[in-house]
Amino acid sequence: MQVEGQVVVVTGAGAGIGRSLCQRFHAEGARAVIAVDLNGAAAAETAALVGGAAFTADVASAADIARVVEETEARFGPIDLFCSNAGVATADPAPDNVASAPDAAWNRDWGINVMAHVHAARVLVPRMRARGGGYFLNTVSAAGLLSQIGSAIYATTKHAAIGFAESLAITHRDDNIRVSVLCPQGVDTELLRRSEPNPASLDGVLSVEQVAQAVIEGLAEERFLILPHPAVLTYMQNKTANYDKWIGGMVKLRRKVLAMKEAASA
């Protein structure tokens, strides 16, 4: 897919990867870039940077997503590329109990990290089928392919997001609907800074601009997996080649991360 001339919607566009994607899509010649964020003022700031439109919306709300789609298409025409980029990460409250997070946290993060993708597909797939195709870019995380030490919610919801994206890609390939999942490790965003030291940073922290470049390249090739950190592919291969050995390696990594956190708090 070439972004030039396309109508693009980006959620979680108020900062970080989302804002950088909006800026890059604008630079690539998108016909319209629509910035969506729970923080309406931040969405408006992004829209002003790219000469686009802004919406305040909660991506966990099916009604909000439907409103964004309806109003965008009424103003700008059919959405060619919908980027479900908004996400949230909640650490395990008790590091020694993987199930320590309350139900409220699980439900909130499930709504944002999983159901937001479902809501977008539910409203857009029929429209895309009717007009001959379209594209979904879902920001997930390398955690969806591997795991996330210190956050069972993040690891679980991101795995679920991968599962839904696979189903979306398989079911609707013959409808000319394409799907890509963006799965970086450490990216220089507020989300990462709040959780340092973070194992996602061990292979290097990329700028949001580098991630946006990887997205442009991945969309051009219509690749399902967009991996800004190439090492993630090797880790995936190690995981599937010997699951028990991979889990053993992750146990060792967890010990290392705990030691890093203890040293940082000393």
In this predicted structure, the answer to whether residue 242 has a pLDDT above a threshold of 70 is: yes
The band of 263, judged by pLDDT with boundaries at 50, 70 and 90, is confident
Quickly tell me which residue has 């709300």 as its tokens. Answer: 61
In this predicted structure, the answer to whether residue 204 has a pLDDT above a threshold of 90 is: no
* 111 contacts 39 by C-beta, under 8 angstroms: no
Tens-digit pLDDT profile for residues 101-130: 999 999 999 999 999 999 999 999 999 999
What does the pLDDT read at residue 200? 66
> Which tokens belong to 149?
């030490």
Closest CA to 212 of 182, 232, 191: 182
What does the pLDDT read at residue 193? 62
The band of 197, judged by pLDDT with boundaries at 50, 70 and 90, is low
What does the pLDDT read at residue 149? 94
Provide the phi-psi class of 204: left if phi over 0, else alpha when psi is between -120 and 50, else beta. left
The pLDDT > 90 percentage for the chain reads 90
Domains and CATH numbers, the chain: 7-265 (3.40.50.720)
* 33 contacts 10 by C-beta, under 8 angstroms: yes
The band of 262, judged by pLDDT with boundaries at 50, 70 and 90, is confident
- Prediction pTM value: 0.94
What does the pLDDT read at residue 202? 75
Amino acid at 161: A
- The mean per-residue pLDDT over the stretch 182-193 comes to 85
> Which tokens belong to 132?
């001959």
Write out the catalytic residue numbers. Answer: 154
The band of 264, judged by pLDDT with boundaries at 50, 70 and 90, is confident
What does the pLDDT read at residue 3? 98
Task: Quote the mean pLDDT of the chain.
Answer: 95
What does the pLDDT read at residue 210? 98
Quickly tell me which residue has 């679920």 as its tokens. Answer: 160
Quickly count: other Cβ atoms within 10 Å of residue 74's Cβ. 8
